A and B are shown apart, each in its own frame.
Chain A
């Protein structure tokens, strides 16, 4: 690429700029980890140790805080509730969105554009803003204090974005495939179920992963719809726990860091799908 004489100089420059790059990036890595590490440090200390030397690494680690929480039944109840809501919301989002996205991507009919534009308007009504109207409706439907109510609301507000992501993906599957399947005697439903859905697995995984994270982390909907302690989800329980035991910082931090574990495990496991969904979503939306 460059002449022989210039090469060593450029390499040197490249080398030093690489060092700067890594230094800056490593600094940011530390910044990202500080809040999390401080949580875990404090959780691994006794209450007294956390008071006297809060910033040192926990040597030796005290596992009592974690054990106390894992032994208490309410942590497991919250975990179970969160799992139920996440599974219910994700299943219905994937199912409802792929049915609709299929129609918008592959079928021709009058008022298709109109219907699609109506649905995309949903993107402009995020749940944070619409929560009061939604709460009043749920109250009328006699659904407060039910997990199913949480699932319905989470699903409804996840529709617009995910239908757009899936529609984009369905559009990219070659038309010839559909013609061929009809020649072979497939109905629209056969094509959708036996050919399109299996082919769309990466996109479905991305949508599912994003929905799982959003549902798992959601605090607002359970906060507003759920009062009964036995129905608290993990984020709601975390907030209440912090309010109740705020004095015992180590115990609170043990609870908080423990409730982050499922998300982080899932993130490191499904990072590719999450990133794919995120970028597809943002670029489409």
Chain B
């Protein structure tokens, strides 16, 4: 690098005439980073910092916040039964994602494998739901979940079984979360499958062949070779899955608005309700801060303890 510096000076009289090489380099760094940092601080750091301030006020959005209430908003949130429900539902989505969605995606990825004829076709179709917007997904599934069997496909199939009645999938307090989870799985299993496929690509075929020659059967191969060697992909998938579950909003909001009777409330719908439907900006800000803290603690904890990604701490 040092030699490149001196050469640069020698060959570039144009810019050395009014600025030293070092000043020029610093100017480049400054100007190149400026737009990213301006946007970052203006639209992410500044509003969040300000929200911390708002969260100490009881503020309904008119004029400046003046009614300082200290930590009362936070106490209120942590005491609220509906917020507890939101947390439980978040944990439920996480639990189901990890126990159903990820194994399903992994299984499909292994089935598609490296060399199945038609591999590209399956990959393309399975990933398709991920690129379809949440609005479209939500409306399509609301049609399928229609409680009337002459309107909703799921009930039309269900009543074919003798003795089984049509269900109000999204209107039933017990069924609403599993029903939403089906939609989430439909939309996101392709993403995880894609990651697993990329991970499988990184396992050298010789390792599997060697194990096969040593007499390993399919299950042993999976248990002792494939899953351990996919370790970092699985950890990434788990991370994305948990973080995604904590932030679920649009699908739930369009399909159920958190109902019936808050049965499908998640943290983001709770925040939206107070912030944008009731205009309790102080309380809504406090909810946003709680959500941020939860994801932040989870992210940092997970990255520190389970998975050290290459970007933390530079190279």
Contact = CB atoms under 8 A, between A and B. Distances in A.
Given A25-B122, A35-B144, A137 B50 contact: yes
A28 B108 contact: yes
A201 B133 CA distance: 27
A63 interface: no
Nearest to B290: A129
Contacts of B243: 126
B4 A183 contact: yes
B236 A35 contact: no
Interface SS, B side: helix
Contact of A242 (B8, B54, B139, B240): B139
A103 interface: yes
A128 B249 contact: yes
Contacts of A263: 131-133
A71 B232 CA distance: 51
A163 B33 CA distance: 11
Given A132-B271, A219-B135, A96 B111 contact: no
A22 B108 CA distance: 11
Interface residues of A, number: 102
Interface string A230-241: 000001001100
Contacts of A156: 39-40, 42-44
Contact of A239 (B44, B135, B151): B135
B28 A238 contact: no
Interface stretch (B80-88, B93-101, B291-299): B291-299
Contacts of A24: 108, 111
A12 interface: no
A76 interface: no
A256 B136 CA distance: 6
Contacts of A252: 139
B247 A126 contact: yes
Interface stretch (B68-76, B161-169, B191-199, B220-228): B191-199
A32 B126 contact: yes
Contact of B194 (A129, A164, A182, A275): A275
Interface string B32-55: 110111011011101110110010
B35 A137 contact: no
B134 interface: yes
Interface SS, A side: helix
Contacts of A112: 314
Contact of A219 (B3, B39, B134): B134
A69 interface: no
A107 B4 CA distance: 12
Given A21-B116, A130-B48, A38 B43 contact: no
B128 to A, nearest CB: 6
Contacts of A28: 108, 126
Interface string A52-63: 001100000000
B44 A260 contact: no
Contacts of B35: 95-96, 99-100
A124 interface: yes
Given A55-B156, A136-B50, A109 B111 contact: no
Top 8 nearest A-B pairs (CB, nearest first) are A156-B43, A133-B47, A217-B133, A113-B314, A133-B51, A100-B36, A35-B140, A185-B11
29 contacts: A24-B108, A32-B190, A35-B141, A99-B33, A100-B35, A102-B32, A116-B314, A117-B313, A124-B292, A124-B295, A124-B299, A125-B292, A128-B247, A129-B295, A132-B275, A132-B284, A133-B285, A135-B276, A155-B39, A217-B131, A217-B133, A219-B133, A219-B134, A249-B151, A263-B133, A267-B128, A275-B127, A279-B198, A283-B198
